[in-house]
């Protein structure tokens, strides 16, 4: 499936307190799905209904009261971990939510799986790891250049206090070295600032993609197609339409 952009929309925070209490991504995203035909489905009514959950209890009767009739009954929130591939589909150990408080466990087949989102997550994780290592290396390099500059300055000062014939040459040599090391340390700090900013941006992007313990985690609304394959029920995400109706 195609997903435009790395940063997904945030909002509808009421959905967060489900399978992962520290969830930072938004499951109610990309409401427009395209199927063969072509058939276009708009999930906005379901997303709006979902945003009114969880269900509340009536103050007098203690009964659960729904926030309106649930639309698009064939669609469910599907979360889970990919355990295998079957052609272009994924096999998931899944949790199926028909409402924020109603869930069942199942092994399913997911058609049109979020391959691009998974690849984006893995790429961001790699970029974060690289940024972390570069920051460590730059900090060490900054300390080395700073120490070298201090030592060169001390040597230049020592030459300045002597009456040796080589005083001018020593002052020039070590003064120049100190200047170069100070410039290198300043450049290190500038690169560190840029890397820290890039790392912060990567972390923010990662927060918008479903993941558990550093591993990509499926969390999308999908259609129960009413068929099975090899005894596994089939769900379908459809294709994401980047142009909403």
Please list, in sequence order, all residues whose beta carbon lies within 8 angstroms of the beta carbon of residue 147, skipping any fewer than 6 positions away: none
- The per-residue pLDDT for 13 is 26
pLDDT at 84: 97
**What's residue 10's pLDDT?**
25
User: Given this model, what pLDDT does residue 244 score?
Assistant: 53
Q: What parts of the chain have a pLDDT lower than 50? A: 1-21, 56-67, 245
Q: What is the DSSP string of 78-116?
A: EEEEEEEEETTEEEEEEEEEEETTEEEEEEEEEES--HH
> In angstroms, what is the C-alpha Rg of the chain?
29
DSSP class of 39? E
* Residue ranges per structural domain of the chain: 13-116+215-240
Residue 58: predicted pLDDT = 43
């Amino acid at each position: 499936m195609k997903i435009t952009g790395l940063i997904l929309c945030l909002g509808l925070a009421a959905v967060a307190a489900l399978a992962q209490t520290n969830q930072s991504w938004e499951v109610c995203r990309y409401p427009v799905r395209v199927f063969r035909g072509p058939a276009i489905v708009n999930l906005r009514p379901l997303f709006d209904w979902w945003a009114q959950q969880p269900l509340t209890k009536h103050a007098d009767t203690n009964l659960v009261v729904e926030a309106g009739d649930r639309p698009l009954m064939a669609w469910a929130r599907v979360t889970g971990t990919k355990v295998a591939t079957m052609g272009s589909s994924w096999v998931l150990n899944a949790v199926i939510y028909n409402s924020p408080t109603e869930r069942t466990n199942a092994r399913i087949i997911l058609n049109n799986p979020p391959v691009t989102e998974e690849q984006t997550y893995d790429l961001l994780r790699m970029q974060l790891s690289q940024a972390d290592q570069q920051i460590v290396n730059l900090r060490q390099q900054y300390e080395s250049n700073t120490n070298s500059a201090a030592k060169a300055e001390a040597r230049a000062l020592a030459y300045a206090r002597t009456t040796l014939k080589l005083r001018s040459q020593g002052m020039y040599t070590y003064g120049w070295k100190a200047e170069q090391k100070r410039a290198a340390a300043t450049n290190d700090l500038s690169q560190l600032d840029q890397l820290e900013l890039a790392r912060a941006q990567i972390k923010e992007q990662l927060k918008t993609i479903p993941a558990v313990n550093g591993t990509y985690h499926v969390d999308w609304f999908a259609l129960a197609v009413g068929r099975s394959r090899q005894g596994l029920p089939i769900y379908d995400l459809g294709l994401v339409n980047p142009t909403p109706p």
